Amino acid sequence: MNFTEINNNGLVEGFAVIKQCDKKMAKNGNAYLDLVLSDKDGEIFAKLWDYNEASHGKYENDMFIKVRGIISQYNGHDQLRIEKIRPVVESDNVNVSDYVKSADYTGEEMYGFLLNTVNGFKDEELTKIVTYLLENNKEKILYFPAAFRLHHAIRCGLLMHTSSIVRLCESICQVYPFVNRELLISGAILHDIAKTIEFDVKDTGIASGYTVEGNLLGHLVMGAMMVKEAGEKLSIDSEKSMLLQHMILSHHGEPEFGAAVRPLFLEAELLSQLDLMDARIYEIMDAVSGINKGEFTNRLWALEDRKFYKYNDATLKVDII
């Protein structure tokens, strides 16, 4: 943990994200908080004894906080006994992306890349509908993750995943010039747009779970609904809107993986394959980045329960802008 040492008695202070927070009762009958705090450097167990919500405040998972306390050893691990705790405020002048796992680019940089790409389209209707949906969801798009767990489950992960696929689309279209480039890129930008509704996400940009809509409908159905509604409002050609809806509904490829229908035209198939490829590249590289050269990862259930071997020093770094 990147805490600042205040004295030689183990007193430290710093900023952290609450990864886990449980209110419990001590043997003396007093409440306390049992926490796991994290930043980009690691995690630490923490306790706030004699907890009183009225005086200490209310805390929950994924909150960004400032703490002061004493670090000591407990069962072979560092543990922070919290003396002071509060939520981070604007005057602290700290950026949450410095304390949570985040994309290599800022949300504003990646959003600008997507917007510039769309504004260069020749098809004015595709420009209109994609821009409309981007702008209407901009606030969340700028920091949302692409997943609750697994691939791109990081701050700004949604834009990182989307921008990566758009770059892949551009490359595909150079090899196969008959592909409808603007339709393919439009589908890529919109395929996960409803994740802004699907996930419950705090200001940290990390998903803590699914919303009611996310559980009942899912981002494929909600995304298609968003496109249909926008298309009708903007008077977009009905077939063009339907093609985009199909790309969203089918981008998981197979019904067993959540697709409402299998891809039924070229650009839909390409989007499905590129989405899967980018997700798998991220999951593999994220897994091997946590081990040493010459070692195997743990089994990755999302990748057919395979273990992956790290034979070089490559790291998860993308070039998407």
How far, in Å, CA of 135 to CA of 318, rounded? 25
Residue with tokens 């981002």: 219
When pLDDT is cut at 50, 70 and 90, the band that residue 72 belongs to is confident
Residue 240 has pLDDT above 90, yes or no: yes
pLDDT, mean over the chain: 93
| DSSP secondary structure string for all residues of 17-54 | EEEEEEEEE-TTS-EEEEEEEEETTEEEEEEE-S--HH
Residue with tokens 């509704």: 197
When pLDDT is cut at 50, 70 and 90, the band that residue 193 belongs to is very high
Is-contact 125 181, C-beta < 8 A?
A: no
How far, in Å, CA of 272 to CA of 165, rounded? 10
Report, as an integer, the average pLDDT of 77-92: 91
42-48 vs 31-39, strand pairing mode = antiparallel
Residue 215 has pLDDT above 90, yes or no: yes
pLDDT for 29-55, tens place per residue? 999 999 999 888 788 999 999 999 999
- For residue 252, give the nearest of 288, 215, 224, 285 by alpha carbon: 224
Q: Which residue segments constitute the domains of the chain, with CATH numbers given?
A: 4-92 (2.40.50.140), 101-303 (1.10.3210)
When pLDDT is cut at 50, 70 and 90, the band that residue 92 belongs to is very high
Contacts of 139 by beta carbon, 8 Å cutoff, 6+ apart:
none
Q: What is the pTM of this model?
A: 0.86
Burial class of 269 by CB neighbour count within 10 A (0 to 12, 13 to 18, 19+): middle
Question: What is the model's pLDDT at position 113?
Answer: 97
Can you read off the two tokens belonging to residue 190?
Answer: 């919109």
Q: Name residue 85's beta-bridge partners.
A: 67
Contacts of 269 by beta carbon, 8 Å cutoff, 6+ apart:
263
